[in-house]
Structure 1
């Protein structure tokens, strides 16, 4: 009799455990949930650790984790703009830093995306800061102008990166292409910085917010020259590629830089997938602007993140969750 009672109790406990397990598993499929506990995991695609995307992405992960309930955000180092487009398109990232020109190319299926399907699931969250096209050369190279790059060993950015597209376009308006260089090296920011210091290359194109860590490091260890783009070539670039703007790198930005340097810039922006939960997109946008001081504390470019310019130059449709926040704040395209 005792054995039968024990058996019945054990069967009852087993049945309750099975039901509880099934219920928990079913509840784990709620929208926005990343696991059975309802956590939403957010992957933030940035760039190389020596650029500007990565520290800003780290700041975003921190403010999202601290201010959005149920969110665990992680920053990922990537090959930057072009790779980030692919990560968003495939659903492998939830928010990404991307140059506005690259976003436009992807949406239209042109330039580096020519011959590929248009990427139609991209949505804008915010425009964030200008990314300056910086041409840095070793002083020993004798390079003082873009034309002087002819016959030199030049880093032109990681393969398929926004920097690479910028380098190709700037060379083109000066009547040059990669064949005119002594060597066109497809290098990341970190690799370019290391090879400039080791005198393995003569110059590098680096498109990023200023000051850029990779250039700062080089300038502290090697005598460098930051090359200007002439006013007429800046105007020619803007006429040919309307997403560019003329801008200056203020003197003193880098060690040994004694004058303002004229160049062109694109805009860095935050891109999310079309199917990102609307409430989450709203909360992410709200947190970025309400916790802006924390971003500024991480990197100087946080100062450029301003509500008033969040939609200026937006090349794609804004995510409805983000647009809801902007409309509440009286901001429109």
Structure 2
């Protein structure tokens, strides 16, 4: 597979004395596709890359991308080794319906491990009189970067709810700045909790977060079978006093089927057996647990990942073995 060397990879991180000896068929460098700065993928993927560098004697680097829609194609084409994806865009790519590569069935991607759920929610200035998704009608709304999960699904959600908003696309950090500067009226997103850009806005500006009303919630769940009901707990952000209704998608780390089996095994094992270390990277990794493997219903697991799951007593169904 093609390898992309970044400055982060070249800078390197000193390999610990306990790192694994590198087998001959392993690449010397690995690239992890993350997303825009200010989102959870950027933090989770970059931190995981540093952790794997320490443990596996391979230079692993996180790379900023447009998010899951782009990540799945970068793995399919061999340009990235690992991609962070939500299952909605991954399923569309698997079936040849990717917005980035329409008609190309991404049949070479394989699941490694579950990451966490991505809930959909929004943030706005308290003075905006926006309290729900329906209130976005006629407003200027940033939906995150094009090619990411929020940039793909929020326009569809708004259309389903009959909300006619002026949509713009930008990374999480840029969207937050645009909200503060009055360039947009609201910023809706989808990422693991807490979302860094939302937390920063809550600390710097007079904002509120919002989810879905009961009526909106019901409509979205009916229209999008790839999402499930989710509650954003009170106090997730300093400005959030009550639970908020949301919907969410599961995130998985994926690799190309040609990744050496032993490498896929060690990556999966290292991440899943060090949950405390992963949670030091981001709190959303609390759900990065082997027991959550079954939230994936269509994407075959890499043989190396299957070997690890079976070692710990998890039987992967035949139709999910890559």
Alignment TM-score > 0.5, same fold: yes
Name the count of aligned residue pairs. 294
Unaligned runs of 5+ in 2: 1-22, 317-322
Which residue in 2 is equivalent to 1:268? Answer: 251
- Residue 45 (structure 1) aligned with residue 33 (structure 2): yes
* 1:204 pairs with 2:215: no
| TM-fit CA distance, 1:255 | 2.4
SS in 1 for 2:295: coil
TM-score, length basis structure 2: 0.86
Matches of 2:31 and 2:98, distance apart in 1: 27
Q: Aligned partners of 2:24, 2:267: CA distance in 1, in Å? A: 19
1:60 aligns with 2:63: no
SS at match of 1:302: helix
TM norm structure 1: 0.84
Instruction: Name which of 148, 154, 165 aligns with 2:141.
Output: 154
Match for residue 6 of structure 1?
none
Q: Which moved more, 1:42-51 or 1:58-67?
A: 58-67
Q: 2:197 aligns with which of 196, 211, 214?
A: 214
CA distance in 2, matches of 1:137, 1:245: 24
Please, which of 115, 119, 122 is the counterpart of residue 132 of structure 1?
A: 119
Please state how far the C-alpha of 1:318 moved relative to its aligned partner: 0.7
- In terms of fraction of residues, the more helix-rich structure is 1
Query: What does 1:85-234 correspond to in 2, within 5 Å?
Result: 85-110=72-97, 112=99, 115-176=102-163, 180-181=164-165, 183-234=166-217
- Cross-structure match for 2:298: 315
1:316 aligned counterpart, secondary structure: coil
1:151 aligned counterpart, secondary structure: coil
Q: Distance in 2 between matches of 1:152 and 1:232?
A: 20
The whole-number CA distance in structure 2 between the counterparts of 1:45 and 1:127 is 16
Shift of 1:96: 1.1
User: Rg: which structure is higher?
Assistant: 1
CA displacement 1:276-325 (0-9 Å, x = unmatched): 11110001101011222111112111111111112323431111110110
Distance 1:133 1:288 in 2: 25
Give yes or no for contact 2:114–2:290 (8 Å, CA) kept in 1: no
